[in-house]
A = this chain, B = another copy of it.
Amino acid sequence: MSETINRPGRRIARPATVTLKHVAERAGVSPITVSRVINTPDAVSEALREKVGRAVEELGYLPNRVAGALASAESRVVPVIVPSLSNAVFIEVIQGVQEVLEVAGYQLLLGNTQYDLQREQDLAATLLGWSPAGVIIAGLRHTDRTRAMLQAWRRPVVEIMEHGTRAIDMNVGLSHYKAGDAMGEHLVSRGYREIGFIGGRLKADYRALHRYKGLERSLARHGLRRRPPFTHESKSSPQLGGDAFMRALDASPDLDAIFFANDDLAVGAILRAQREGIAVPKRVAIAGFNGFGIGELVQPSLTTIVSPRQQIGQIAANKLIARMQGRESGAASVDVGFTLRVGEST
């Protein structure tokens, strides 16, 4: 039996990279010591820290996070999975998350499901392959496999935006149903009786649908007419809000108030009303949802429901970090609530 002559494997050298080992040689210490200087500088003497620091400088060493993540089976990365990037709500949530993660030294990996649960599942599978330290994901509604995958995973998961009882792990959000109900109560208390709802993609954006359902309950409670929502299939924008507003008034001239699924649409309606000479709220009242700043500046100012969006992101990130660092243990659910901001438009 002859010796194997050919020794397969990597023979071609990669482009030269500076690694821990090179730094260690330069500094005359062991690689593991270099690792410690970088990751847990407190566990190492001042002299070494300096010596190694100098070698790092001289060689221009950049730690390879990928190798570190493989060795430790954890990367300092947190995927944030949202349904849309064109909706400012999610942007503000992402901002809140990013602020908190950055300080703690974590990177944010962005996932956009485009309101597609299948895509969400694929995204989750891919992103879990990065051994992230935790996951933040919008919504409580997922495919069974997504739920199973996240549940089987041993790291913290925070579901955000809506508040509910059947969370995978942790949950930070608010009840959109209650928010819709609250707006209904407000409109009714102001004397409006013919109340409509305008929103888009209600099948995909089921949180908006919950707001509608909440409104419906309120209307039912007062024995008022419940109308099907005026809906459309394009993404929300002020432009679209203005158009949908005109169409709705055309189709149902008896409307005396309209609850829009979000502020983008509602602000568009107010600006359009202004141009068309439609008196708000005299002819028809307008209400929104979100609490964007622009709602306070238009004339009349917008009645809306303010959700603490940035705060949702911050809380979610903080809960994640607390768990990752071993502080705080149990799962937990936070209802961040909402506030009704009454403007001149109702």
Which A residues fall within an 8 A CB radius of B?
Answer: 14-15, 60, 62-67, 69-70, 73, 75, 77, 85-86, 88, 91, 94-95, 98, 102, 107-112, 125-131, 149, 152, 154, 237-239, 242, 267-268, 271-272, 274-275, 293-294, 296-299
Contacts and interface: CB of A to CB of B under 8 A. Distances in A.
A111 B62 CA distance: 17
A88 B107 CA distance: 21
Nearest to A84: B95
Contacts of A127: 107
A14 B275 contact: no
B242 A297 contact: yes
B98 A91 contact: no
A126 B126 CA distance: 22
17 contacts: A15-B154, A64-B70, A64-B129, A64-B131, A65-B126, A66-B75, A67-B70, A94-B110, A107-B110, A237-B293, A238-B294, A239-B296, A242-B297, A267-B294, A267-B297, A271-B299, A274-B299
Contacts of A272: 297
A-B pairs, top 5 by smallest CB distance, nearest first, are A65-B129, A271-B297, A108-B110, A66-B69, A85-B95
Contact of A129 (B66, B154, B268): B66
Contacts of A126: 65, 107
Contacts of A109: 77, 107-110
Contacts of A75: 66
Contacts of A77: 109
Given A63-B129, A112-B102, A294 B297 contact: no
Contact of A297 (B112, B149, B268): B268
A272 B95 CA distance: 27
A126 B75 CA distance: 12
Contacts of A95: 85-86
Given A237-B293, A238-B294, A272-B297, A130 B66 contact: yes
A128 B294 contact: no
A234 to B, nearest CB: 13
A297 B130 contact: no
A33 to B, nearest CB: 16
A69 B298 CA distance: 51
A98 B66 CA distance: 22
Contacts of A111: 107
Contacts of A267: 294, 297
A194 B85 CA distance: 40
A81 to B, nearest CB: 11
